């Protein structure tokens, strides 16, 4: 679990201040430059490593978005190398902007028991299998939002559930002291797989959102997972004070 550092005036070497692009009276948070998280192996599924998107993920990213289900549930589907690079840059920029934190999810090389030859063991490298993003983070605000996908070749082995659980814990650990109390997860009603991931990960169905065509022609589900109670001395914002910038559906899922 990464360490939440301090809220002093000077960033220690190797840390950046988040939220610096916002109004001067808004809180800012310091965070390690490189955040790498881990999710334990599941039965018949290797462990996962979560880290910010890197430039050389582009080929695997574009390949993942060839899948029709990915394109169906995303309005920002990069179809070629240039679009993939732009997608990665946007998600890298979120870390420096301090309001969106996207993780590439990599599956560790298969266990020796699963490898056909010793060469498989030696050459096996972690494979990109998914994406989890924490977005709409504002220091002092009580709510933020999560989104995710799993590449088609890696579905059905708990990647989304384990990666989302890991980022959820990190989010409350990192931003809870600055007021984060609630994470929201939104999906269109007919995305059964996403609904199941939400429930499995403790995101409880809270309400049904009206359609928002053309992006979401059907109703949506809003699931919510609440964090631990505020620690003494935290800077919790009053309930309902979250600044919403859009309609009930705050934007396209990515």
Ligand X SMILES: CC(C)(COP(=O)(O)OP(=O)(O)OC[C@H]1O[C@@H](n2cnc3c(N)ncnc32)[C@H](O)[C@@H]1OP(=O)(O)O)[C@@H](O)C(=O)NCCC(=O)NCCS
Residues forming contacts to ligand X in the complex (CB under 6 A) are 69-70, 73, 148-150, 155-161, 187, 191-194, 196-197, 200, 253
Give me 184's structure tokens: 């929201």
Q: Which is nearer to ligand X, 138 or 191 (CB)?
A: 191
Q: Tell me the closest approach of the beta carbon of residue 147 to ligand X, in angstroms.
A: 6
Give which of 27, 28, 34, 37 is closest to 171, Cα–Cα. 37
Mapped onto helix, strand or coil, the DSSP state of residue 98 is coil
Pairing of strands 143-150, 182-188: parallel
| Pair of tokens at residue 234 | 């935290």
Judged by beta carbon, residue 15 or residue 157, the one nearer ligand X is: 157
The nearest distance, CB 243 to ligand X, in angstroms, is 22
By beta-carbon proximity to ligand X, the closer residue of 156 and 229 is 156
Q: Which is nearer to ligand X, 210 or 229 (CB)?
A: 210
Residue linked to tokens 């001067």: 24
CB of 103 to ligand X, least distance (A): 14
> Is the CB of 159 or the CB of 209 nearer to ligand X?
159
Q: How far is the CB of 212 from ligand X (least distance, A)?
A: 14
DSSP-assigned letter for residue 26: S
Nearer to ligand X, 15 or 127 (CB): 127
Task: Provide the minimum distance between the beta carbon of 74 and ligand X in the complex, in angstroms, as a whole number.
Answer: 7
E strand map for the chain: 15-18, 29-32, 37-39, 48-52, 101-107, 127-135, 143-150, 182-188, 204-209, 220-226
**CB nearer to ligand X: pick between 91 and 187:** 187
Minimum distance from CB of 28 to ligand X (Å)?
30
- State in angstroms the smallest separation of the CB of 39 from ligand X: 11
Cα gap 170→163, rounded to integer Å: 11
Contact 205, 151 (CB under 8 A): no
């Amino acid at each position: 679990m990464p360490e939440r550092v301090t809220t002093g005036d000077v960033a220690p070497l190797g840390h950046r201040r988040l939220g610096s692009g916002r109004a001067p009276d808004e809180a800012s948070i310091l965070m390690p430059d490189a955040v790498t998280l881990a999710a334990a192996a599941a039965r018949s599924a290797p462990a996962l490593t979560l880290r910010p998107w890197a430039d050389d993920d582009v080929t695997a990213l574009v390949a993942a978005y060839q899948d029709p289900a990915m394109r169906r549930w995303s309005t920002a589907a990069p179809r070629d190398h240039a679009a993939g690079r732009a997608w990665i840059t946007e998600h890298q920029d979120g870390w420096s902007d301090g309001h969106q934190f996207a993780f590439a999810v990599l599956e560790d090389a298969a266990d020796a028991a699963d490898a056909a030859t010793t060469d498989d063991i030696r050459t096996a490298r972690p494979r990109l299998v998914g994406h989890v993003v924490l977005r709409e983070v504002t220091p002092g605000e009580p709510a933020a939002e999560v989104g995710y996908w799993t590449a088609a070749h890696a579905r059905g082995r708990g990647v989304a559930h384990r990666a989302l659980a890991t980022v959820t814990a990190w989010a409350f650990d990192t931003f809870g002291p600055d007021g984060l109390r609630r994470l929201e997860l939104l999906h269109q009603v007919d995305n059964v797989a996403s609904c199941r991931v939400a429930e499995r990960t403790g995101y409880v169905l809270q309400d049904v959102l009206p359609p928002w065509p053309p992006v979401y022609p059907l109703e949506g589900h809003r699931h919510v997972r609440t964090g631990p109670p505020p620690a003494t001395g935290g800077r919790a914002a009053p309930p309902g004070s979250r600044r919403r910038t859009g309609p009930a559906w705050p934007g396209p899922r990515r």
